[in-house]
Structure 1
Amino acid sequence: MAKKNSKRINPFIRILVSAVLLFAVYQSISTISLALWGNIARGTVDTYSSRYDSRGADANRSRTIFKSYTFSSAGRTYRGYVTYLSDEAWPRLEEGETRSELIRYFAFLPYINKPAELTDFDQMGAFGLIYHISAPVLAFMLLLVVNGWLTIGKQKRQKKAETVPKSDSNWSRRDTYFAETGEDRDLSTRSDNTMYCRQCGQKIGNDSAFCTACGFRIEQDDISGCPSCGAEIPDGADFCIRCGADLGTMPTVAKQEKRPEPAVPHRQDNTANLVGFSQRYRSPEILAAGEKNRKSSIGCMWVLVFVPLLGFPLAGLLMDDFPFGESLVIGVGISLIMLVVSLLRLKAAKKPLWEGTVLDKYSKERSEQRGHSESNGRTYTEYTTVIRTDSGKKKTIVERDSMRHMHDYLKVGDRVRFHPMFGTYEKYDKSKDRIIYCNVCSMLNKISNDRCDRCDNPLFK
């Protein structure tokens, strides 16, 4: 029996790599934290060794230094060990010989400590600062990838396609096909009465005249694909290359010459089927738009995280009136806030859609102060739309001034559906409306449009 290939990482290797990455995060964060908030004590180095590695190494990287030291805090003695790269070449300490050195530590947790020279920003230089700032973020991302908590890209599934001729000499190939794909050999038990709409991709009955999802007219003579799964059929094929259906027993003629599909107009004066929630959110175009929107959000998230994380510390290095410690704290704080907010938004976009009823609408006059001057204050109107979901929860839509689109579009008693993928709302009954909002880009469109004027995606009708 052939051994099954597995792409999963060995648990021992995964734990080992995770431990190394966590240690890298700890090293950089502790170094920066000790430089900003650590206390200083006079310590005693009792072990020191310097190993020469390479003459052609970069500055401060030609030797490997090992130290062990002790220091006192609050009446207790603590010991620390450190290994780092440097160009220093002090003589090795003999037994009983010691050397004095400054040690930085946390008063609330003295076990976290380092020699003061390793936490000095001037000693680190610009490259060292950038390294210690970016290393925790990169190591944390690698940690997520290694443990499968963050996937990079998508693996495309390749479907095996094989045309099996209906000849006696090829019955063994047909048996092999069904064994590999897992399809049912008994074609009489297959569900071959299903076709697919060319307009929206929705499943339709074999004898349907119109698509139940979008209302598109179905002409039986135009069907040249497999009646079972909708796949294209090569000329002369006796079996469907995707599902293995026997085309010779199908009621729909699948081996006839393919006719060119009539061009679907870019705009349709389609005002029918305006009552009910649309099924177009399942169409390939909308799903592709949602995936594109998700990737754009991830890209914006990393921009919002890295710009303040690198920009503020660099500003602290270049500007004399902007202390580096303060700039570092501000940059890290803003980056963390942006990261948390972006992750929450990405998580919200994956939630299932929900439906509800508009319960109430109201507006309030509010004021806000800008700056310290009283003349900078302004008054605005806040519009709130309250929706009760089918599960009994209350959701609110809050808008300001002229941006009250949903407040004007929805009425009390309207049934609505929320699409988390785009963060937009769809109305159940659109039969009395003259406008419709695109659920992908929120653009206002005429109710007669079938596609959005801005993004060209199908409107949810």
Structure 2
Amino acid sequence: MICPNCGTDSDKNVNFCVGCGGPLLVSGQRNAEETQTNQAKPGESSGLIGYSERINDPAFASYQRQTTAWSFIFAGILTVVVIIGFFIYGETSPEMDNPQALFIGVGIGGMFLTIALLSVLSRRMVKQWDGVVIDKKIENKTRRNKDSDGQYYAVRYKLYTVVFKTDRGKILEKGVEDDDTVFNYFEIGDQVRQHKGLGTLEKYDKSRDSIIFCNACSTLNDINDDKCHRCSCPLLK
């Protein structure tokens, strides 16, 4: 038996090294330690337990910049189209003249730009927090909608809500209508983390999951995938 301290080869029947006098591991102890080591490795190698270090990947910052840019580009295109459309309408229609039609187009275009700005600001205001799932609720609800004739009608739907308590004691609810995917993804007692500027929560323990949500674009992915099939950002696992 080889001594782990000095390397001296001692007889397998002795419990102490003949060279340095240190204790030797008997066969049962050695096997037990090897078993514990082997059991620990799968969890560490798979990365399915614990918050992922992949959040530091530059792809997330790049995605946020691109999302911001595309929000303003899309809003800008709509603004230009609306302004030009109303200007042409004012020049050709007998019902409205310029500059009245042009002013309306500018107002609607400004509304598009304002919506884009508020959307970007709302994403940037999302701060990081840790929390835990404390409740799940399924509610049957009804709302009133108006049809093209101005008549109201009732719409029935199910609201699936997951309730979180943050590390600062704040209660947050995330609800989805007529879709229980997110509802079933979380269990009461799950530890979660909201990453700054992102929309989807990361679970601490993902070892029993078969699916995973992209924390950048919220797209559903297979747990075995490394990157989101939609935005190519790393999956946090």
Please report the TM-score for the alignment, with normalisation by the length of structure 2. 0.66
Note the alpha carbon deviations across 1:302-357, whole angstroms, 9 max, x for none: 23444334433433333333565764554344333333332122123223322222
SS at match of 1:380: strand
**Structure 1's 316 and 446: CA in aligned 2 closer, same or farther, altered over 3 A?**
same
**Structure 1's 313 and 407: CA in aligned 2 closer, same or farther, altered over 3 A?**
farther
Q: CA deviation at 1:283?
A: 1.0
- Please name the residue that 1:401 is paired with: 178
Q: CA deviation at 1:364?
A: 3.4
Q: CA deviation at 1:409?
A: 1.7
Note the alpha carbon deviations across 1:280-302, whole angstroms, 9 max, x for none: 11112332223222222232232
Q: Which residue, 156, 160, 173 being the options, matches 1:379?
A: 156
Q: Which residue, 135, 156, 169 being the options, matches 1:360?
A: 135
The alignment of Structure 1 onto Structure 2 pairs a total of residues equal to 192
**Structure 1's 321 and 391: CA in aligned 2 closer, same or farther, altered over 3 A?**
same
Identify the structure with bigger relative contact order (alpha carbons < 8 Å, sequence gap 6+). Answer: 2
**Structure 1's 279 and 324: CA in aligned 2 closer, same or farther, altered over 3 A?**
same
SS at match of 2:227: coil
Within 5 A, what are the aligned runs for 1:39-438? 272-322=46-96, 327-328=101-102, 330-351=104-125, 352-362=127-137, 363-371=139-147, 372=149, 374=151, 377-402=154-179, 404-438=180-214
Give 1 or 2 for the bigger CA radius of gyration: 1
SS at match of 1:367: strand
**Structure 1's 382 and 318: CA in aligned 2 closer, same or farther, altered over 3 A?**
farther
Note the alpha carbon deviations across 1:119-154, whole angstroms, 9 max, x for none: xxxxxxxxxxxxxxxxxxxxxxxxxxxxxxxxxxxx
**Structure 1's 445 and 322: CA in aligned 2 closer, same or farther, altered over 3 A?**
same
Distance 1:353 1:306 in 2: 37
SS at match of 2:172: strand
Q: CA deviation at 1:428?
A: 1.6
SS at match of 1:398: strand
**Structure 1's 285 and 384: CA in aligned 2 closer, same or farther, altered over 3 A?**
same
Kept after mapping to 2: 8 A contact 1:280/1:286: no
SS at match of 1:439: coil
**Structure 1's 314 and 298: CA in aligned 2 closer, same or farther, altered over 3 A?**
same
Kept after mapping to 2: 8 A contact 1:364/1:383: no
Kept after mapping to 1: 8 A contact 2:199/2:217: no
Note the alpha carbon deviations across 1:94-122, whole angstroms, 9 max, x for none: xxxxxxxxxxxxxxxxxxxxxxxxxxxxx
Distance 1:336 1:443 in 2: 31
SS at match of 1:369: strand
In the alignment, residue 282 of structure 1 is paired with which amino acid? N
- Pick which of 275-284 and 448-457 moved more: 448-457
In the alignment, residue 437 of structure 1 is paired with which amino acid? F
Structure richer in helix, relative to its length:
2
Kept after mapping to 2: 8 A contact 1:426/1:439: yes
Kept after mapping to 2: 8 A contact 1:361/1:407: yes
Note the alpha carbon deviations across 1:203-259, whole angstroms, 9 max, x for none: xxxxxxxxxxx967xxxxxxxxxxxxxxxxxxxxxxxxxxxxxxxxxxxxxxxxxxx
In the alignment, residue 89 of structure 2 is paired with which amino acid? A
Distance 1:451 1:405 in 2: 20
Q: CA deviation at 1:448?
A: 2.0
Structure 1: unaligned runs, 5 residues or longer: 1-213, 217-271
Within 5 A, what are the aligned runs for 1:23-34? none
- Please name the residue that 1:448 is paired with: 224
Q: CA deviation at 1:459?
A: 0.7
Kept after mapping to 2: 8 A contact 1:281/1:287: no
SS at match of 2:201: strand
In the alignment, residue 132 of structure 2 is paired with which amino acid? T
Q: Percent identity?
A: 34
Q: CA deviation at 1:375?
A: 7.8
In the alignment, residue 292 of structure 1 is paired with which amino acid? Q
**Structure 1's 410 and 335: CA in aligned 2 closer, same or farther, altered over 3 A?**
farther
Structure 2: unaligned runs, 5 residues or longer: 1-42
SS at match of 1:424: coil
Distance 2:111 2:235 in 1: 35
